[in-house]
Amino acid sequence: MNFAPAPFFLKDTSVGKVMAQVCLALLPGIAAYVWQVGSAIVVQLLVASLAALLAEAAMLRVQKKPLGLFLADGSAVVTAWLIALTFPPLAPWWLVATGTVFAIVIAKHLYGGLGQNPFNPAMVAFAVCIVAFPALMSQWPNLGLQLPLRDQIDIIFGLAPRVDALTGATPLDAMKTALKLGEDGSNVARLLANQELYGNFAGRGWEWVAGGYLLGGLWLWQRRIITWHVPLAFIGALVAISGILWLHNPAQFANPLFHLFSGGAMLGAFFIATDPVSGCTTPRGKLIFGAGAGLLAYIIRVFGGYPDGVAFAVLLMNLCAPLIDLLCQPPVFGMKDADKGDST
């Protein structure tokens, strides 16, 4: 008979295993991305992964930590993949590499490495790059124009000139333009329906990518890698605010389904806001964190100046996470109330 002290974990939950499953869960989204947008994303994933591993190895060497142990845990690769998936697919390679190195070196290791970073590294990379290179970060490919892989690689590595015709407005951009023009009587629903941009229920092409993330996210939940709190609160808050505004004025605001399947909402809800390091850890805290992120994402993407709001929303909620956790501590077992139990 084997006796071991508590806690009794039924399965192996090493960082490496968790990260591998997160990568696996991203695959449906990546597959949809390749199918709908283009295979350039695979090149970006490779560039980001390579940059992340090099930066991670350099930082570990500086700190004299064992290379193999920390490189193998895969957390750098997850960060790299999230960066590649949130950047425009035809962004130059150095932009993706700069963002990744910034994420690993400054957002992760300067704060103390894995488990110590107060901000989600991938979202720091996105925020830094959209602030530093706003033009390049807003060049999303025109989905009507499918380029051969060879040409896409040439553009990424600067061998072919970037042509303006390659890029078009994203569904979120179109919606924002319509909102700004709304005073002249233009209609969001009609505008989106009439354009090449609008697919079955959200942005053309991107709706399937978001669907892939949803699928992967549900699998992560089923595998108990993430709990339901953050995604549900994120989606709930996004649906609630977009629904209220849509019911209030359907001519000016897009419907909740459009918001759920556009931009980074699904990726954010399941893969970014659920980050166990930079997010909340208490159940009630997770609900508040997710709801706050969803609400802010909507406000920033609809009324703000940036193409999408998920990155800034998650970073703002990361700032609040320690305070939220402090206020949401569950009562100690046997105590009636957390506040009374704390009085010692």
Partner 1 sequence: MITRDESRAIAGNGVWKQNSSLVQVLGLCPLLAVTTNAVNGIMLSLATILVMALSNAAIAMLRNLIPHEIRIPVFILIVAALVTVVDLLFNATLHELYVVLGIFIPLIVTNCIVLARVEAFAAKNPPLQSMFDGIFMGVGMLWTLALLGGLRELIGAGTLFSGIDMVIPGLQPLQLLPESYPGFLLALLPPGAFILLGCLIAWKNWLDARATARARGKGDGRSLAAAPAAGR
Q: How far is the CB of 124 from partner 1 (least distance, A)?
A: 11
Alpha-carbon distance values, 256 to 182, 193, 230, 259 (Å): 18, 15, 18, 5
Q: Assess 133 for contact with partner 1 (CB under 8 A).
A: yes
7 prior amide bond cis, ω within 30: yes
Q: Decide if 308 contacts 263 (C-beta within 8 A).
A: yes
Q: Assess 132 for contact with partner 1 (CB under 8 A).
A: yes
Q: How far is the CB of 204 from partner 1 (least distance, A)?
A: 31
Q: How far is the CB of 322 from partner 1 (least distance, A)?
A: 20
Q: Assess 167 for contact with partner 1 (CB under 8 A).
A: no
Q: Decide if 313 contacts 290 (C-beta within 8 A).
A: no
Distance CA 253, CA 171 (A): 13
Give how many residues touch partner 1 by CB under 8 A. 9
Interface region with partner 1, contact rule CB under 8 A, candidates 77-85, 130-138, 177-185, 300-308 = 130-138
Q: How far is the CB of 51 from partner 1 (least distance, A)?
A: 16
Q: How far is the CB of 133 from partner 1 (least distance, A)?
A: 7
Binding marks (x or -) toward partner 1, 66..105, rule CB under 8 A?
Answer: --------------------------------x-------
- Start-end of H helices in 143-269: 149-156, 171-181, 188-194, 206-222, 229-248, 256-260, 265-267
Q: Decide if 142 contacts 167 (C-beta within 8 A).
A: yes
Q: How many other C-beta atoms are found inside a 10 Å radius of the C-beta of residue 193?
A: 10
Q: Assess 106 for contact with partner 1 (CB under 8 A).
A: yes
Q: Decide if 311 contacts 126 (C-beta within 8 A).
A: yes
Q: Decide if 266 contacts 217 (C-beta within 8 A).
A: yes
Q: How far is the CB of 18 from partner 1 (least distance, A)?
A: 30
Q: How far is the CB of 128 from partner 1 (least distance, A)?
A: 6
Q: Assess 219 for contact with partner 1 (CB under 8 A).
A: no
Q: Which of 37, 77, 128, 202 binds partner 1 (CB under 8 A)?
A: 128
Please name the residues in contact with 209: beta carbons below 8 A apart, sequence gap of 6 or more: 29, 32, 33, 36, 37
Q: Assess 62 for contact with partner 1 (CB under 8 A).
A: no
By C-beta, is 69 or 110 nearer to partner 1? 110
Interface region with partner 1, contact rule CB under 8 A, candidates 129-137, 198-206, 251-259, 332-340 = 129-137
Binding residues vs partner 1 (CB under 8 A) = 98, 106, 110, 128, 131-134, 136
